[in-house]
Amino acid sequence: MKRLNRKLLFLLPFLWFLIPEGKLFTCDYSRAVFSRDDQLLRVWLTKDQQFRFEPSRDPLPKKYVTALLAFEDRRFWIHPGIDPLSVIQSTIVNVKARGVKRGGSTITMQLARLSNPNTRSFISKVNEAFRALKIEFWYTKKRQLQLYAAHVPMGGNIVGIEAASFRYFGKSPKELTWAEASLLAVLPNAPGMIDVTRKRPALLEKRNRLLAILKDRHKLTNSEYALAIDEPLPERVSRIPFEAPHFCRFAMSQSKKATIHSTLDRTIQKRLEEEIVRYRYTLNSFGVKNLSVLICDVPSGELLAYAGSQDYYDMAGLGQVDGIQARRSPGSVLKPVLTAAILDRGPFTPTSLIQDVPTYYGTFAPMNADHQFDGIVPLNQALIRSLNVPFVRLLDYYGAEQFYSVLTRSGVKFSEPASTYGLSLILGGAEMSLWELAQLYGALARDGAVRSLKYDRSLKDSVIDTLCSEGSAGLTRAILADLVRPEFEQYRASFSGKKGTIAWKTGTSYGQKDGWAIGFTGKLLIGVWVGNFTGEGNPAIGGAQSAAPLLFSLFNAFPRENDQITSTDTTKMDVVKICPESGFPAGELCPHAVERYLPKGRICEEPCRFHKVLSIDSATGEQLCSSCWNSRVVRHDTLLILPPAARLYQIKRGLAVDSIPPHNPTCSAVRSDRALELIYPTNGIRVFVPRNFGGVREKLYFSAAHRRSDAELFWYLDNHYIGSTVGTAKLMLDSITIGKHTLFVQDGDGSRVSCSFQAYLRDD
């Protein structure tokens, strides 16, 4: 038993070595954000008020390693944690000097002491030696150097070479000169000189002595040595960087890491801030106080610049609010996203005709910004002109809940369910952030896949979902690149001179509270928001007048020779025959057809329904049918027949439309009105016009019934078109004059009903 106990006692040291060392340091580290070129943007002190950076896994600067090993541990790469030769040499020197003149500690032993500081004694020295052996067993030489460099004291509350490099020299350790690297190598070895602002002659001599050693060992050339010797010590500790404050705060809020090596480009960030300084005074003169800008790299989705407000230090203007993450009404900037979605589904194409007429969905009656109607417009023109009515009709066709789902899967976080927003979703009815909108536009700028905006270089590319097909994204890009409106032409022309193209869109929220402008080239995506953080509206706020000028100023600030938007890959598309007049897939009745590229896999390819064949009496020019064409000379004409309301507005605008001949009045099969019935008002009724408590007349509701629940009805009051209803047979009338009126309703097939009624007030 005694022999066994002796063996166990003998084995205990070996077992101790086999127990993993674990984390050498349990201290906390300064939270820090670095730019894409590894310059410090912002740093926070640790809990014990130290500047101490997390140990890096990247190789240390060669100059620093060379200087450090020459000064502290020449045989570092070959000794086992303890250098016996150094111990013997230091002992001889100290005995002769009758005092401690030279230490024998290796970097590994110093690392052991730094990780477990104790009072200096013989026992602690022995303990350091044993721990150095164990560290050597469990850690590579490279990692030992990294840990030492990150935890070695550098004066005051500065710990490690990274903190020292930024505090003393204002730059990354990778940029250290030979003189600076040598200074950081000798600084921890001189406790009395650990503050570079004191005892400067002695510290300078110590540094220069190391430089001479490096020269003698042929680590420095004569010219390098001469330049290093002439380099002065830093005069003072550098100011702590505080750049891109909104971005740094956002990045830290998204990560638990102590150190973030970001994608932010300091050059672009500074140019952005310069442009904002110039532009903010223009806005302020109109009473507009705030703006936010986001700049991203299109191919990679990396964040390049981030300005959450006009000035972080503008306390009066709430400058510390981060407008990029704030949720606001996006106005019309979702229209390109719906365009891409609708092009994927079909049957719509970029030139498909959409009605632009007064339309009612229950109590919701969308209106264009200019309160005018075109009658009918191609989809691409509706997007270019940002017409509201056609896009509400498109959303009704696509489905508000389906579009809501597309946005949700693409990273948009809504505060309410889809039913709360309804069709107003496409007009800015739901609040979104500039960050979310930039992700959506990034998908349109690339291949249709929504990728998370990348702010941290260590993060992997993350695809959230597919917004649309590559072909649909390309067609939408082409429309946005052709966006030409008179009030924007000065901006567009200024960018065109840079030999590039830009796809862009603006938006204005209801009440002119938010102005948006988002655009992209093949390389850059820029998003601009303009408004007031307090939420009040202003006539000067708008995508066109206040956000677009800054957008184009920024694009002009970063000239890109031949920076074209990404072209459409036609191999990812199908060739489809299109009716050139209606823009829908050509049907059998379409007299001509042209081939166009459309996205693959479209769900709906319903052919053109605008062309119809009419049987015409050659003698009278009247329409005929099988019940009345006997004994008549009949010809068959193919005409483009627009819906009644669209025809009316086209004619009002002086545009030519195909003339529809009247039906033979003597025909016994003239269409019956029984398919359509007017419910309210009824013929001869007196209609009371109510007033609210303020004496203002309230709205009237008319209703009809059709045997087809999806029929579109067209309403006329006193022979003036007042609107159409889709999917509902109720129309809301904003105002009506007191007196007699005639109302008639017609469906798309020509069936119609009418009535006469009298409107009156209670005191009539």
Catalytic sites, residue numbers: 72, 332
Through-space distance between the first and last CA atoms of the chain, rounded to whole angstroms: 121
CB 551 within 8 A of CB 292: no
| Torsion of Cα atoms, 653 then 654 then 658 then 664, to 10° | 90
Q: CB neighbours (10 Å) of residue 706?
A: 18
| Torsion of Cα atoms, 538 then 541 then 542 then 543, to 10° | -160
CB 131 within 8 A of CB 116: yes
Structure tokens at 174: 């990778």
CB 737 within 8 A of CB 729: no
Q: What are phi and psi of 377, to 5 degrees?
A: -140, 150
Q: Which residues pair with 448 in a beta bridge?
A: none
**Radius of gyration in angstroms for the set of CA atoms belonging to the chain, rounded to a whole number:** 38
| Torsion of Cα atoms, 387 then 388 then 389 then 390, to 10° | 60
Structure tokens at 146: 């990294």
* Spatial separation of the C-alpha atoms in residues 265 and 727, rounded to whole Å: 52
Structure tokens at 184: 């950081």
Taking each helix axis from N to C end, the angle separating 400-409 and 335-345, rounded to the nearest 10 degrees, works out to 110
Handedness of CA 273, 277, 278, 280 (dihedral sign): positive
Q: What are phi and psi of 161, to 5 degrees?
A: -70, -30
Of 598, 541, 620, which is closest to residue 331 (Cα–Cα)? 541
CB 293 within 8 A of CB 310: no
Buried b vs exposed e over 219-231: b needs ≥16 C-beta within 10 Å? bbeeebbeebbeb
Taking each helix axis from N to C end, the angle separating 2-18 and 122-138, rounded to the nearest 10 degrees, works out to 70
Strand bridging mode 32-34 / 40-43 = antiparallel
Q: What are phi and psi of 682, to 5 degrees?
A: -95, 165
Q: What angle do CA 38, 43, 45 make, to 5 degrees?
A: 145
Q: What are phi and psi of 195, to 5 degrees?
A: -100, 120
Q: What angle do CA 184, 187, 192 make, to 5 degrees?
A: 165
Q: Which residues contact 360 (CB under 8 A, 6 or more apart)?
A: 723, 724, 725, 728, 730, 731, 732
Buried b vs exposed e over 609-632: b needs ≥16 C-beta within 10 Å? ebbeebbbbeeeebbbeeebbeee
Q: Can you list the alpha helix ranges (DSSP code H) found in 704-762?
A: none
Q: Kind and range of the H or E element at 345?
A: helix 335-345
